[in-house]
Amino acid sequence: MKQDIFQAIADPTRRAILTLLAIQALTPNAMAQKFDMTRQAVSKHIKVLHECELIKPEHSGREIYYHFNAKKMQEFDHWLAQFRQSWETQFNQLDQLLTTIKEQK
């Protein structure tokens, strides 16, 4: 069952994992040590992140290093794009309001 990136980042632990992995690749055990949580719990988060391809595994002997996949994270950027115009518009309106108030003085 394919996971969706929006749900993947909804969880604080998963966001923390992504922040860690953006700096350096880590094994599941290494991640579990960072958070006060069993390895299996972290492993489930890893599974979610992996299924939606936000992270990628790199096998090295019996260890698995998970890497952050920046390309996938860009999908948020694309989703956000539809709102950029809105916030620019709202800020322009704010500017206009401020200008109007200034002129009224």
Partner DNA sequence: AAATTGCGCAACTCAAAAGTTGCACATATA
Partner DNA sequence: TATATGTGCAACTTTTGAGTTGCGCAATTT
Site for a second copy, rule CB under 8 A: 6-7, 9-10, 12, 15, 18-19, 22, 68, 70-71, 73-74, 76-77, 79-80, 82-83, 86-87, 89-91
- Could you give the maximum distance between any two Cα atoms of the chain, in Å? 73
Distance CA 63, CA 70 (A): 22
x/- string (CB under 7 A) for DNA, residues 69-88?
A: --------------------
47 binds DNA (CB under 7 A): yes
Q: Which two tokens stand for residue 19?
A: 């922040």
